[in-house]
Structure 1
Amino acid sequence: MFKTGMTTGDFWRVVNPKMDVLKKRRRELAEKRKALYAEYRTAQQDMRELTAAKGNLDHLYRATEGRGHKAQER
């Protein structure tokens, strides 16, 4: 295409060197996002387990609380 033997891609790198920097930054951010999302999923799973455990404990507490009052009434 060009008399210098440059391809279109080479031409754009010469004209706009920031594009390579931006692509590199985008790749870095995508890798960071992927790692952080894995951490987020782990924290989310932990939260679900803790919420389920709290619900179970609340249910048991309410069930035993009612029994204590009935025993005192007798």
Structure 2
Amino acid sequence: MQLRLAGRTVSGTAWAVKDEAEVGAALRDLIASQSSHARLAGVHKNDDGSLDLDRAARERVLIRVELTPAS
């Protein structure tokens, strides 16, 4: 696959990760680095106000991308 990154077209391989634990960990890390991502990703809150990462992980897949080294 190809994508634009910092104004350049780069190549790589992408795959879907369905493992709920891995998806949940990635969401947790993303939201920890920028809390507004919870809203953007549609992560719901539990009754106690905590983020429902388990539900979010069940409802989503993670797309991993491995970039091909430039030659």
Task: Please give the TM-score of this superposition, normalised by the length of structure 2.
Answer: 0.23
Greater percentage in strand: 2
Task: Please give the TM-score of this superposition, normalised by the length of structure 1.
Answer: 0.22
Greater percentage in helix: 1
Q: Larger RCO: Structure 1 or Structure 2 (Cα < 8 Å, ≥ 6 residues apart)? A: 2
User: Which structure's CA Rg is the greater one?
Assistant: 1
